[in-house]
Amino acid sequence: MSATTSNTRRVLRGGIDLGGTKIEAIVVDSRNNVLGAARHPTPTTGGPADVAAAMAGAIKEAAVAAGVETSALRGVGVGSPGAIDAAAGTVSEARNLPDWEGTFALAPALAEALGTKVLLGNDVQVATDAESELGVGRGRHSLLGVFWGTGVGGGIVFEGKPYVGQGGAGEIGHMVVESGGRRCGCGNRGCMEAYAGRASIEARARKEIKKGRKSKLIKIMKHKERDRFTSAVWFEAVEQGDNLAVELIDGAVAALGAGIASAVNLLDVEAVVIGGGLGVRFGEKYVRKIEKAMKPHLFPGHQPPVVSLVELGDLGGAIGAALLARPPRRASAATAAR
């Protein structure tokens, strides 16, 4: 690849997006061009050390594709779910990952395996930052990222800076859309994620199927050689007009409409960008459906936000993670990247 001359190789960076379903790893150059990529399934058994090993395997594969050793990378950024302590390099309470209720020193473990420094960020916030800087959010003053996947995560950017609250802001999936409603994976009731998250609708679908409801979901899953209802399984089932899948995806869209509109009423953002496994797979047509579902809930006194599909697609999370490994920049940019 012409971009990987000995001169540019020294500024290559790695990015890993650690999702509940899959691990995306990439190697990028200083202009954020993707030179190599690899995707591995997230382990569903074992523990944090097994997940770290799968992550190391994925980024090594991406590095091979980019023609570089991981130890030659300037650094590797990681976008992770759970509670991140960036300074300590730890991830706690990543409840969509196997046996990860406690705290695990992910950055040191990966740094050891890869021979370069590793920087952690919140998965959804780094994906939002990537869209804000390189994707549909370019030139936008305020942006809400909504990542519709295994769960539903949110990221907020205001005046070019992530809004992080105490460090864990963006739990849009746990905004209440039905007081006392459906039980969520977090233990609460009526959260948007209980109606829209992939894990929640899969659990619901399996229960219905067990009770005898007909659905093509299992058959499509087996045909795709998967052990869960991935975004591709849901998409295929809806394409085939499977009643149960259509009903649950329509319910997800309605919940996303109410929840995103609620967040917009509070935040008055200029733009909303929708990504995540389901968001990307269902694409533009469903972004328009979500926008339509938001309409009846938007505060009439506001200028409604522009609603777009992520521009960086499935790799946005990994590209955002790789941004974490950039060298420090001039003061104003450093402030913006805090």
- Residues found near a copy of itself in the complex (CB under 8 A): 82-83, 93, 95, 141-142, 154, 156, 158, 163-172, 174-179, 186-190, 254-255, 258-259, 261-263, 265-270, 296-303
**CA torsion through residues 18, 19, 22, 25, sign:** negative
Q: Which is nearer to a copy of itself, 78 or 294 (CB)?
A: 294
Cβ(278)–Cβ(149) below 8 Å: yes
Residue 330 Cβ, how far from a copy of itself at the closest point, in Å? 18
Q: How far apart are CA 260 and CA 172, in angstroms?
A: 7
- By three-state DSSP, how is residue 306 classified? strand
Residue 41 Cβ, how far from a copy of itself at the closest point, in Å? 24
Q: Which is nearer to a copy of itself, 71 or 303 (CB)?
A: 303
Burial code (b: 16+ CB inside 10 Å, e: under 16) for 188-219 equals: eebbbbbbbbbbbbbebbeebeeeeeebbbee
**CA torsion through residues 57, 86, 280, 149, sign:** positive
Residue 269 Cβ, how far from a copy of itself at the closest point, in Å? 6
CA atoms within 13 A on the CB side of 129: 23
Neighbours of 285 (CB within 10 A): 8
Q: Which is nearer to a copy of itself, 46 or 168 (CB)?
A: 168
Q: Which is nearer to a copy of itself, 38 or 258 (CB)?
A: 258
Identity of the amino acid at 111? A
Residue 298 Cβ, how far from a copy of itself at the closest point, in Å? 8
Q: How far apart are CA 215 and CA 207, in angstroms?
A: 12
Q: Which is nearer to a copy of itself, 154 or 316 (CB)?
A: 154
Q: How far apart are CA 201 and CA 338, in angstroms?
A: 35
| Tokens read off for 125 | 């916030």
Q: Which is nearer to a copy of itself, 130 or 255 (CB)?
A: 255
Residue 181 Cβ, how far from a copy of itself at the closest point, in Å? 8
Cβ(236)–Cβ(222) below 8 Å: no
Neighbours of 288 (CB within 10 A): 12
Residue 11 Cβ, how far from a copy of itself at the closest point, in Å? 31
Gyration radius of the chain's alpha carbons: 19
State residue 335 phi and psi, 5-degree precision: -65, -45
Q: Which is nearer to a copy of itself, 170 or 279 (CB)?
A: 170
Residue 135 Cβ, how far from a copy of itself at the closest point, in Å? 20
Residue 232 Cβ, how far from a copy of itself at the closest point, in Å? 28
Q: Which is nearer to a copy of itself, 61 or 171 (CB)?
A: 171
